Amino acid sequence: MSQARELIDAQGRVLRDLRVSLTDRCNFRCLYCLPESEAARNFYRGHWAKMPNPAPILQQWAPKAQLLSFEEIERVARLAVQWGIRKIRLTGGEPLLRHEVENLVARLAAIPQMSDLAMTSNGFLFPQKALALRAAGLRRISFSLDSLDRDNFKKITGRDLLREVLQSIGLAQDLGFHPVKVNAVIIRGINDHEIEALAQFARDRGLCCRFIEFMPLDSARAWLKEMVVPAREILARLQARFHLQALPPDNPSATAKRWAFADAPGTLGLIAPVTEPFCGHCNRIRLTADGKIRTCLFSVTEHDLRSRLRRGDSDDEIAQWLKGLVWHKEPRHHIGEPEFVPPSRTMSCIGG
Cis peptide before 351 (omega within 30 of 0): no
Question: Across residues 308-328, what is the average pLDDT?
Answer: 97
Would you say 44 and 97 are in contact if contact means Cβ atoms under 8 Å apart? Answer: no
% of the chain surpassing 70 pLDDT: 85
Task: Establish whether the linkage from the previous residue to 338 is cis, with ω within 30° of 0.
Answer: no
Question: Looking at residues 207-236, what average pLDDT do you find?
Answer: 86
Question: Residue 251 has what pLDDT?
Answer: 78
Is the Cβ–Cβ distance between 220 and 48 less than 8 Å?
no
- Entry pTM: 0.91
What pLDDT is stored for residue 55 in this prediction?
47
The number of beta carbons lying within 10 Å of the beta carbon of residue 278 is 16
The CATH superfamily of 3-350 is Aldolase class I (3.20.20.70)
- The mean of the pLDDT values for the chain is 89
Residues 79-107 pLDDT 10s: 999 999 999 999 999 999 999 999 999 99
Q: How far is Cα 167 from Cα 270, in angstroms, rounded to an integer?
A: 24
Higher pLDDT among residues 198 and 256, named by residue: 198
Identify which of 23, 17, 20, 18 has the alpha carbon closest to the alpha carbon of residue 348. Answer: 23
The pLDDT confidence band at residue 1, using thresholds 50, 70 and 90, is: very low
Any idea how long the chain is? 352
Residues ≥6 apart with Cβ < 8 Å to 219:
33, 34, 35, 56, 58, 59, 346, 348
How many other C-beta atoms are found inside a 10 Å radius of the C-beta of residue 135?
12
d(CA 22, CA 105): 11
CA-only gyration radius of the chain, Å: 20
Count, in order, helices (H) and strands (E) of the chain: 11, 12
Angle between helices 150-157 and 38-47 (to 10 degrees): 80
> Which residue from 274, 112, 105, 229 is spatially nearest to 177, judged by alpha carbons?
105
Smallest Cα–Cα separation from 195: which of 263, 264, 269, 131? 269
Using N-to-C axis directions, what is the helix angle for 70-82 and 101-109, rounded to 10°?
Answer: 20
Question: What are the residue ranges spanned by the domains of the chain?
Answer: 3-350
217: amino acid identity, one letter: L
**Among 79, 108, 109, 107, which Cα is nearest to 326's?**
79
What value does the mean pLDDT take over residues 277-300?
Answer: 88
Q: What distance lies between CA 227 and its chain's CA centroid?
A: 20
What per-residue string of b and e applies to 10-19 under the rule 16 or more CB within 10 Å gives b?
eeebbbbbbb
Residues 171-220: tens digit of each pLDDT = 999 999 999 999 999 999 999 999 999 999 999 999 999 999 998 766 55
Asked if 121 contacts 181 with a C-beta cutoff of 8 angstroms, the reply is: no
Q: So what's the pLDDT on residue 332?
A: 82
Collapsing DSSP to helix, strand or coil, 204 comes out as helix
Per-residue pLDDT, 57? 43
Contact yes or no for 217/75 (Cβ under 8 A): no
| DSSP summary character for residue 8 | B
